[in-house]
Structure 1
């Protein structure tokens, strides 16, 4: 389903939110490093999660079973490596998953095997300079294709003091936090700039704690990591994903009542902030995550801590009263697409009034958009945001590259139809 036509219609009903992609990546990696068998409930096999599971299998973990449950997701069991990285395949294909790439690269330095990391799409050119500086400092050999993937790594990672910028991507910090406890000496990570996306690092620390890894966090400015630690197997259930719920909560505010189920009220997911943000705009959302039609107004939004929410916030702002300013969001230019350019270009193609800035957007809200032909830029969050925008369009919306949702939410279009959306393939 590469090009679809959406005829604007009212969405309403109850939608079960897929499991958190961020937590799933982390749980799979922790299980793969553990001493025995880890059972993980509620895994949703998007392309990104497939990439991480295949990656840890390449590093020596074993998938014991994969069973579909009554909710449509999967329960799996992983036999861990006990922290002994012994690759059975020295090429890891990360597909288009930045998390897979940046989380697993440090594990190449835990074995004596030359490892190759490959990918496709925009991932090929996603920056890895943070790791390159570490490799240079520790005399680890690496080769790339003029700064692009594939990346070959040949050398052992050593305990050290790692000085890392915090305003590039928290994924580098997570990658180091996974691997450094397995080294034979103590290490420190020192932030040289303020850490953005702290919530993602908090999520990593929470999973590490569950799997018996101890990290001392000093106000997200330093991380002290004891060496010679061991991951201990545990059973774990992945909770629903607030970054995916963001689309349906937003839809409920501009359409009809939509309830999102399988969300954890006590979650530490950073993207849980979408609830606060939508309420700040005037959205009516109950404690059990029922969103209902609301009079929305523009706000000022800092995109540095929750970058994945920017496309849907821009979308909802484009059909709200007043002006919304999104700032500190320059990192969105190096995601699956240049998301600032992608979302502003395509919403403007639908009739929105958005001005693109170097590090953000200025959005002048309208009551309705026009509709028309738009492109996903092969970016799942752009495709899903445009689908929500279609609710407030006067004419049909045609989305090219609609299959991009497979990256994180393969059943998105099925859920859209289930809620009353009128979608068909278009040639």
Structure 2
């Protein structure tokens, strides 16, 4: 795809949160009766979760709601002690890590498959818990496919808090299904607290009670609980809004509509980060924000709780005054790509002054980027979208390989980029 520098202007109806969508559809599948989950986009990750839940016994129907938005009608009540067969998680880490403990709690013999880098993404946290319980499973060199052959038991679960919160969330979905009570003990400080807050909020909406200490080091989960069917509307996604908010910081005029000011999403941190850099946020309506940037100055940004923001924050740091440091970013190495290496490599092609230093990025900002790079998205949706925004501040057009990767989370991204005035031309 050829992307020509352009001025973006207009209003974007921010797509629904992928994180909340996963959680609500899973909870609905665990509830007996019918739930309707509204305001869904059919990204590849959400399709993977829907397909996986169908394999576990949920009846799910997808119906059109409005343009590019869908209703997902879920009749829950998953099969117990049956063979679920193969679940293809595609490249969705959330699907894999959320459904593994659910299948284990049901006692279903299940084979989990994946594609791309998901095959190698670590599952050691679950393997250690399984071995402690003498839970039978099979894997080769700790890679997918993974075959589950046992039934999860209630009890105490100890795991680190500085790994992906997806492991904790997966257990929080599954443990209420067991007959006995369970406790999750975190042996280190929890990172990505916002994602656990989202899980608790969604579980509560579906009738599941969770007890926890203020620092989340202990999470109490009563067994024998029943998920209750409910209708649930998915709020807009701050992870995706971040691309358009940064575009506005870089001189474009984009308003983001549909946002929940009181959201618990971790990536709502983008609002605080922009303000800390010197940006101005104006809520022109209760759910619509625009950003004005007069003179942004680099700072140190700790992304321990919001790692998905790193690619677009690196773009922002490359185009503002002074030095921006992005720290506490170790988990970016094991995402859809090694995002620290990926965004550093591609921004350097555009002329950015950016350096990887361990698990940090150090960026010296400048007024413009030269461009004329042959860029690669590294098969990573967030890298592709970040490079599209970066091109709005380049002097020359860029070619982007792997632009299709946006289908993982934001299939309408290029259409909406064009609707704002973005200039793209698909080649070949």
Aligned to 2:10: 13
1:79-125 deviations in Å (ceiling 9; x for gaps): 011x6546574110000000000000002212343210000000000
Q: Is 1:358–2:351 an aligned residue pair?
A: no
1:259-282 deviations in Å (ceiling 9; x for gaps): 111111111111111011112112
What is the rounded CA distance, in whole Å, between the counterparts of 1:112 and 1:175 in structure 2?
15
More divergent stretch after superposition (289-298 vs 220-229): 289-298
How far off is 1:241 after superposition? 0.3
How far off is 1:284 after superposition? 2.2
Structure 1 residues 366 and 85: CA distance shift in structure 2, 3 A: farther
Q: Is 1:340–2:305 an aligned residue pair?
A: no
SS of residue in 2 equivalent to 1:234 = coil
How far off is 1:71 after superposition? 4.0
How far off is 1:375 after superposition? 0.5
Aligned to 1:200: 195
Aligned to 1:298: 298
After TM superposition, the structure 1 = structure 2 runs for residues 70-89 of structure 1, keeping only pairs within 5 Å, are: 70-81=66-77, 84-85=79-80, 89=84
What is the rounded CA distance, in whole Å, between the counterparts of 2:82 and 2:68 in structure 1?
32
SS of residue in 2 equivalent to 1:378 = coil
1:39-83 deviations in Å (ceiling 9; x for gaps): 1110110000000011111111001x32212242101210011x6
1:385-418 deviations in Å (ceiling 9; x for gaps): 0001001101001111000000000000000000
Out of 176, 182, 188, the residue aligned to residue 177 of structure 2 is 182
SS of residue in 1 equivalent to 2:379 = coil
What is the rounded CA distance, in whole Å, between the counterparts of 1:133 and 1:368 in structure 2?
49
Aligned to 2:374: 373
After TM superposition, the structure 1 = structure 2 runs for residues 9-48 of structure 1, keeping only pairs within 5 Å, are: 9-48=6-45
Q: Is 1:272–2:268 an aligned residue pair?
A: yes
Aligned to 1:119: 114
How many residues get paired? 422
How far off is 1:292 after superposition? 3.3
SS of residue in 1 equivalent to 2:227 = coil
What is the rounded CA distance, in whole Å, between the counterparts of 2:246 and 2:294 in structure 1?
10
| TM-score (norm. length: structure 2) | 0.97
After TM superposition, the structure 1 = structure 2 runs for residues 52-201 of structure 1, keeping only pairs within 5 Å, are: 52-63=49-60, 65-81=61-77, 84-85=79-80, 89-201=84-196
Structure 1 residues 87 and 388: CA distance shift in structure 2, 3 A: farther
What is the rounded CA distance, in whole Å, between the counterparts of 1:112 and 1:210 in structure 2?
25
More divergent stretch after superposition (107-116 vs 32-41): 107-116
What is the rounded CA distance, in whole Å, between the counterparts of 2:92 and 2:80 in structure 1?
21
SS of residue in 1 equivalent to 2:367 = coil
* Contact persistence 2:278–2:293 (CA under 8 A): no
Aligned to 1:254: 250
| TM-score (norm. length: structure 1) | 0.97
What is the rounded CA distance, in whole Å, between the counterparts of 1:171 and 1:66 in structure 2?
25
What is the rounded CA distance, in whole Å, between the counterparts of 1:112 and 1:14 in structure 2?
48
* Contact persistence 1:12–1:255 (CA under 8 A): no
SS of residue in 2 equivalent to 1:259 = strand
How far off is 1:299 after superposition? 1.1
Gaps in structure 1 of 5+ consecutive residues? none
* Contact persistence 2:355–2:363 (CA under 8 A): yes
* Contact persistence 1:302–1:326 (CA under 8 A): yes
